[in-house]
Structure formats: C-alpha cells, structure tokens
Structure 1
Amino acid sequence: MTKTKRDRNIKAREIVQHQRAAERRRTVTLWTSVAVVLVLFIAGMVGWSMVSGDDKGTLTTPTVAVDEGTAFATGTGPVTVDVYEDFMCPACNAFEQSAGATMKQLVTDNKITLRFHPVAILDRFSNGTEYSTRAAAASAAAAQEGKFSEYHDVLYANQPAENTTGLDNAKLIELGKSVGLTSETFAKAVNEGTYKTWAVQATEKFSERGFTGTPSIAVNGEKLTGPNDTLPTPELLTQAVEKAAG
C-alpha cells in the first residue's frame, strides 16, 4: 500500500471517529434536553395544581347543604332569606343579636325559608389559626348531625375577638357538646378538618355571587341593606319579606 493511500485511510478513520463522537454528543444533548423539558413540564403541572387549588384537600360537601351545597336551611316558607356570615365577624354577631329573633319568628310563622351561608373571609384576623375556616367547617359538621341552628347560636355566644387566635378545636368540640353534639363523628370532623375545603369553596361561591363583606343579607335574591349601607333592622327585614311575598 502506498503512503498516499495509507494517509487517506487514516484520514477516513479519523473522520468516521469524529462523526461517531459527534453523534454520541448529539445523543447525550438530546436526552439531556428531553429530561430538562420533562422536569420543567412536571414542575409546571405542580405549580398549576397549586395555583388552581388542587392542593386544597378532599372536598366533602355536607349532604344536608342546599343552594349548590353552600347553605343550611331552616323553615319552608315561600320567601327565601339568605344570610352570608363569618363566625369571627363582629357585624355578623350584631346582626344576629338584632334580627335573629325576628328571623326565627318568620320561620315559625312559615313566612320564610332561612338559609345560612357560613363563609371564611376573616382568617387573617386569627393570627394564623384560620379560625373563620375552622368555625365554618365545624358548623358544617354540626349541620350534618342536625344541629346547625344550635351550634350557630353557641358560636356567636362565644365569639372570639378579632386579632386573637380564636377558639381552638378542643373548644369548638366542647361547645358542640353543650348543644348535644356528643358523637365521635362530630369531634373527628372538627379535629381532622373534614369540611375545611368545603368552607373554602363556599367562600369562593360567595365571592362569585358578587358579595364582598359580611354579613350580606338577600331576600329572594335581592341584597338588603339599611340606609347608607348599614345593617338592615328587623323592621326593614320584615317589610322586605312582606313585599317579596306580595
């Protein structure tokens, strides 16, 4: 074999080796890129799950809830009165003290169907304990055992002040026992937060319906307020019910 031919063969082998090395580099680069894309895709899906609320936990809606699973009703009267409330809201308690007896009488007289919507918009005022959410969830557990009205009233009678830690779960369970909620089912629901995700969803529905504060009262779907956006008085509420009844 001549020197020229040997040189050509050596050069050819070098070219082949170079091409093979380049191909290996391209393969490594390709799979590295695929891996990076997959990591970014997975991270994006996790991030979307968190933003979209998929990490809120399992949704358990009380079977006794009405109005798209957001409320608990008493009475069967022809006029519907909806009350949206946060158990840490002082104004909600004030409305309850002012108009609670009137609403109960309207239920007794079969004039209204009264629907309470527990929501949680004041968690920021309970020093990180999410009292509004926990109280709303506990009221759902009470409703599931047929004691919503009783528990509703005892929560207001023991309402914590804003900017405190609120009532702990042990106290919520103790208050339940005082109105006949003595089952392990109720205590477990409070301790495990069975209805916390439901409370979050009910609050979202409250916002979607255009409400921005508590208490919000509606008579047959029409928001009711007093003069200058004050709380409606018992007299104003009664008048609105009579007008809605025709």
Structure 2
Amino acid sequence: MSKAQRERDRAAARRIVEQQKAAAKRRRVTVWTSVAVVAVLVIAGLIGWGVYANQNKTDASSVATPSVAVDDGTAFAVGTGPVTIDLYEDFMCPICHQFETDSGATLNQLVADKKVTVRYHTVAILDDASNGTKYSTRAAGAAAEAAQEGKFKEYHDVLYANQPEENSDGLTDAKLIDLGKSVGLGDAFATAVNNKTYDAWVAKVTDTFASRGFNGTPTVVVNGKQLQGANGGVPTHDDLTKAVEAAEG
C-alpha cells in the first residue's frame, strides 16, 4: 500500500471517529434536553396544580354560607314534621308564584300540623330574564340574609307578594331592603343586600340544583321523590296533600 493511500485511510478513519463523537455528543444533548423539558413540564404541572388548587380553595372560601342553612348548606328549613318536602324555586319565576298562590296555604297548614318539614332552595335560573340586573340572584341572596336573621318565611312571602314581571328589571336593591324593613329586618340586612354577601352562595345552590338533575322551577320533592301534577305539570295543593299522606304511610 502506498504512503498516499495510507494517509487517505487514516484521514477517513479520523473522520469516522469525529463523526461518531459528534453523534454521541448530539445524543447526550438530546437526552439532557429531553430530561430538562420533562422537568420543566413536571414543575409547570405542579405549579399549575398549585394555582388551580389555590384558586379552588379561594373560590370555596369566598362562599358565605348562612349558618342556618340545611341540606349541605343549600336550603332553609321551615317546620319539624317527619315528611320532608324540598321546594326549589326562583323568585322571578311566575309559575313559582302560581304554585305559591295555589299551595302556599297548604304548606303552611302542613307545617303547623307538624306533618312536614319544608326545605326551601332559592335558586337563580332566571337571571337572564331581568335585563342584566340578576334579580333572581339578588332576591335569593336577600332571602338568605333574612333566613340568617330568623325571618326567612316572612321575607319569602313578601317577595312573592311583590314579584316583578319576568323580563323586567326586577326590584332594585333599595326595594329589596324596604321589603326587609317591612318584616322587621334592619341595618345588617341592608348591608348584606348592598354587599351581595350571598351571591356566590346562590350560585352554589343553583349548581347543586342542576347536579341533582333538575332544570325547572318550581320543583317539588317529597321524601326524595319528585312530585308532578297532571301530564307532568306543576303539582296542585291536592297533589301535595295526597303525596304527604302517602309518605306518612
């Protein structure tokens, strides 16, 4: 083999070695880059989870739940009878007003006779029907403060007696406060209404309502079973009485 040939072979060998070194270096860089990327993603994920958890914690802690609320903090109980009636209603709902007109006296009598406990769930599914004022939420929040001060039923009834038309602006906060004064509520009530103290709580109650598979008001549930009237309509006072009698056994 000539000297020139040997030089060419050595040069080729050096190139191969250099190529192999370069390839090995690239593999090391790729591996460490991948490790770094994974580490960054893991750290970002942990940070993201921390932010999410903190946000959830903040959101949960921002819900002011009335201490008198029952059923996981979503309702106000009236009466002490053995049969439980859960009533889901929206203070803007005209059909809720009709149900109150037809069955309110029956409910009151069943409570007085100690046959039932009525749990009122004040939901807000008609906020869009008040021209942006969120009347359903505001009224339900005001009722929550009334309950906290021991005046839920009185305020509940006066709200229905003054129910605004659906798709109107609803009652102003000032009017909600005036109605509170008419049933003996004072400065603490006015502060809660003005500060929207229970707005987040109303949203929670409404979410719970939906999670239980309900989508319309009024919804009436007697001892865990939804009560409906003829053809799936709103139950009447007669339907209510019969359902309670059946539940009593």
Question: Could you state the TM-score of these two structures normalised by the residue count of structure 1?
Answer: 0.79
**8 Å CA contact 1:57, 1:197 repeated in 2:** no
1:227, distance to aligned residue in structure 2 (A): 1.1
1:79, distance to aligned residue in structure 2 (A): 0.2
Please list, as runs of the form range in 1=range in 2, the aligned pairs for 1:21-60 lying within 5 A after superposition: 58-60=62-64
Query: For residues 61 and 70 of structure 2, what CA distance do their matches in structure 1 show?
Result: 22
**Cα distance 1:228–1:54, how it changes in 2: closer, same or farther (>3 A)?**
farther
Query: For residues 111 and 121 of structure 1, what CA distance do their matches in structure 2 show?
Result: 30
Please list, as runs of the form range in 1=range in 2, the aligned pairs for 1:231-242 lying within 5 A after superposition: 231-242=234-245
Secondary structure, in 3 states, of the residue corresponding to 2:87? strand
Question: Of the candidates 99, 124, 127, which is equivalent to residue 123 of structure 1?
Answer: 127
Partner of 2:207: 204
1:203, distance to aligned residue in structure 2 (A): 0.4
Secondary structure, in 3 states, of the residue corresponding to 2:85? strand
**Cα distance 1:55–1:62, how it changes in 2: closer, same or farther (>3 A)?**
closer
Partner of 1:6: none
Partner of 1:101: 105
Secondary structure, in 3 states, of the residue corresponding to 2:111? helix
Partner of 1:28: none
Query: For residues 58 and 130 of structure 2, what CA distance do their matches in structure 1 show?
Result: 24
Is residue 191 of structure 1 aligned with residue 197 of structure 2? no
Is residue 225 of structure 1 aligned with residue 228 of structure 2? yes
Is residue 153 of structure 1 aligned with residue 157 of structure 2? yes
Partner of 1:243: 246
Partner of 2:19: none
The CA RMSD over aligned residues, in Å, is 2.8
Question: Of the candidates 137, 142, 147, which is equivalent to residue 143 of structure 1?
Answer: 147
Secondary structure, in 3 states, of the residue corresponding to 2:132? coil
Question: Of the candidates 167, 184, 207, which is equivalent to residue 171 of structure 2?
Answer: 167
Please list, as runs of the form range in 1=range in 2, the aligned pairs for 1:72-87 lying within 5 A after superposition: 72-87=76-91
Question: Could you state the TM-score of these two structures normalised by the residue count of structure 2?
Answer: 0.78
Query: For residues 148 and 56 of structure 2, what CA distance do their matches in structure 1 show?
Result: 28
1:191, distance to aligned residue in structure 2 (A): 0.3
Give the length in aligned residue pairs. 214
1:53, distance to aligned residue in structure 2 (A): 10
Partner of 2:137: 133
1:209, distance to aligned residue in structure 2 (A): 0.8
**8 Å CA contact 1:79, 1:113 repeated in 2:** yes
2:233 maps to a residue whose letter is T
Query: For residues 197 and 85 of structure 2, what CA distance do their matches in structure 1 show?
Result: 27
2:206 maps to a residue whose letter is T
Secondary structure, in 3 states, of the residue corresponding to 1:62? coil
Query: For residues 159 and 63 of structure 1, what CA distance do their matches in structure 2 show?
Result: 27
Partner of 2:11: none
Is residue 111 of structure 1 aligned with residue 152 of structure 2? no
Unaligned runs of 5+ residues in structure 2 are 1-36
Query: For residues 243 and 69 of structure 1, what CA distance do their matches in structure 2 show?
Result: 28
**8 Å CA contact 1:56, 1:197 repeated in 2:** no
Unaligned runs of 5+ residues in structure 1 are 1-32
1:224 maps to a residue whose letter is L
1:69, distance to aligned residue in structure 2 (A): 0.4
Identity of aligned residues (%): 60
Runs of 4+ in 1 over 2 A off after TM superposition: 51-57
Query: For residues 169 and 88 of structure 1, what CA distance do their matches in structure 2 show?
Result: 14
Query: For residues 179 and 60 of structure 2, what CA distance do their matches in structure 1 show?
Result: 27
- The structure that has the greater radius of gyration is 2
